Amino acid sequence: MIKNTEMRASAKERFQRKRSKLEEEYYKTRTYLAQAETALLSAAKGSDVNEEKLQYKKEIEKYKNLAVHYEKRLKDVEMIKQIAGDSARK
């Protein structure tokens, strides 16, 4: 019984670290996305350099895709947490 409790605590700790790391990466990606969108807006006001705008648009698309990826992983982690909690109660 003690071994199960220790294993469960260890797994819970690893799980929490993984979740924290995912959240950190997600928020970092959202910050980069906001910066890229701001840069695009300022570039749009300033000049007609299409290459620069295209570069910002590609960057925005990249960060949007990353943000969606992290959101999906966080949802998956939440579902795993819920399933693990349900099975621990049984």
- pLDDT tens across 52-81, in order? 888 889 999 999 999 999 999 999 988 888
Long-range contacts of 72-77 (CB under 8 A, 24+ apart): 73/22, 74/19, 74/22, 74/23, 74/26, 77/15, 77/18, 77/19, 77/22
Distance set, CA 51 to CA 23, 40, 60, 72 (Å): 33, 11, 14, 32
Q: Is the pTM of this model over 0.85?
A: no
Per-residue pLDDT tens over the stretch 21-32: 999 999 999 999
Q: How many residues does the chain have?
A: 90
CA 41, 45, 48: angle at the middle one, nearest 5? Answer: 110
Q: What's the number of domains the chain is made of?
A: 1
Structural domain boundaries enclosing 68:
2-89
Measured distance CA(90)–CA(85) in Å, rounded: 9
> Is residue 47 helix, strand or coil?
coil
Mean pLDDT of the chain: 86
